[in-house]
Structure 1
Amino acid sequence: MNRRAGRTLTEEDRILWSQVARTARPLKGRAHPTVPEPQPVSMAEALSEARPEPAKSAASSPPVSRPKTLAQSALDQPTHDKLAAGRLPIQGRVDLHGLTQDEAYSLLFSFLHRAHANEMRYVLVITGKGSSSGGDGVLRRSVPAWLATAPFRPLVSSHHHAARHHGGSGALYVRLRRKKP
């Protein structure tokens, strides 16, 4: 019995496979197969916020109730300590090493979306510490900013740097929001 029967590739698997497939040489007399790449959401689209509409006069329309904003807070210290000690399980992890910002963004979004759909509560996002030249890594700086943007707010409740044995400042504990019934 084939264990992989009926399973499809995850977004993470597709990105990894496309990176490997680009380095392969086709057999003699054959051409590279063309596989359509998934269309990632560009960072510019995701980071741009919708501009507010001009204010209307109060007489022309009834007051509109504003939806609750999903504010993001830092992970509380007791929860951080429990994750670091292993008393709370890390239910998923994603490694963004070696990816471009666009690849990392789309992989992170799809991973967090799947984890939220599977009702995971705590996940580990590994960004890496950056270049060895002493500067901060691009993903290390960008990922916390991405988690605070509009596409991620419905998924992410809070985040904080991981404990040393989980990657330290090169990784983040992320608490996902509970699914609404």
Structure 2
Amino acid sequence: MKPPRRPRALSREDAHLWGEIAKLITPLRARVTLRKPKLTVVDATPAAKATPKISPAKGIAKKLAPAPKPVPAMPVAIPGPVAAVAPAKPVKRVVRLGAGAPPAPAAPVRPAFVPAPAPPGLERRERQRISRGLLAIEGRIDLHGLYQAEAHAALVGFLMRARAAGHARVLVVTGKGGEDAYAERGVLRRSVPHWLRGADLRPIVLGFEEAARHHGGAGALYVRLRRR
């Protein structure tokens, strides 16, 4: 085995040449090696609390310290029964108009209804003369047996025609009906006097009165017409 060669020593010229070459060479940047951080495993179980060490002097002082006095409890008020409160009465507000405001106009006062006077009865002398035949009866209508609507229409038409003809005295037969004046058979006997006082016949009827016995008595009426 050959012995290793010994490195040859540089001459001055070689050293000078190497120094010039080294000036021309740009040194490489140092490589940075990143080291991974070490992970430390932490125990999730909380550490047991260390029992504080109490010196013997402090323990004796705590034993000799007087116990705190209990605080007396404050008395609690118990509410009593609530008394019933009467509801407040509504207050009426009166609104007054200002001095410069004009007064409200007064509501018009409606005139009181005054019914028209009923046609007066015939004079006693005139009735006697009619019953004795001294004054002629110029017209006659018999409503006996008709319904109210038919009787009313027939009566109005008859009186209008009689007045247009210039008649002054006519006889209207209603029928006596039964003994009870308010029975169904006495309807016309009760209704005809109201019709003669009505607004449609009042302008032409001057008066009426119960007829004499031989002209029908309680079942007939003498009617006096107004002059045209």
Residue 151 of structure 1: aligned partner:
200
Count of aligned positions: 113
Larger radius of gyration between Structure 1 and Structure 2: 2
TM-score (norm 1): 0.59
Alpha-carbon RMSD: 1.8
Identity across aligned pairs (percent)? 53
Aligned to 1:162: 211
C-alpha distance in structure 1 between counterparts of 2:122 and 2:188, whole Å: 20
Residue number among 122, 126, 129 corresponding to 2:169 in the alignment? 122
Deviations 1:95-116 (A, max 9, x none): 0011000000000000000001
> Over residues 13-71 of structure 1, what are the superposed CA-to-partner deviations in whole Å (9 max), with x where a residue is unaligned?
xxxxxxxxxxxxxxxxxxxxxxxxxxxxxxxxxxxxxxxxxx847xxxxxxxxxxx675
Aligned mates of 1:146, 1:157 — CA distance in 2: 13
Distance between the aligned counterparts of 1:70 and 1:155, measured in 2? 14
Name which of 124, 127, 131 aligns with 1:80. Answer: 127
Which 4+ stretches in 1 moved above 2 angstroms? none
- How far off is 1:72 after superposition? 1.3
Match of 1:107 in 2: 154
Instruction: Name the structure where helix makes up a greater proportion of residues.
Output: 1
Contact 1:70 1:153 in 2 (8 A): no
Tell me the distance in 1 between the aligned counterparts of 2:108 and 2:155: 38
**Larger relative contact order, structure 1 or 2 (CA cutoff 8 Å, min sep 6):** 1
* Structural mapping, 1:1-181, within 5 Å: 56=108, 72-131=119-178, 134-136=179-181, 137-179=186-228
Gaps of 5+ in 1: 1-54, 58-68
Maintained 8 Å contact 1:156/1:177: yes
Amino acid at match of 1:169: A
Matches of 2:148 and 2:190, distance apart in 1: 11
Equivalent position of 1:66 in the other structure: none
State the SS of the aligned residue for 1:74: coil
Unmatched 5+ residue regions in structure 2? 1-106, 110-115
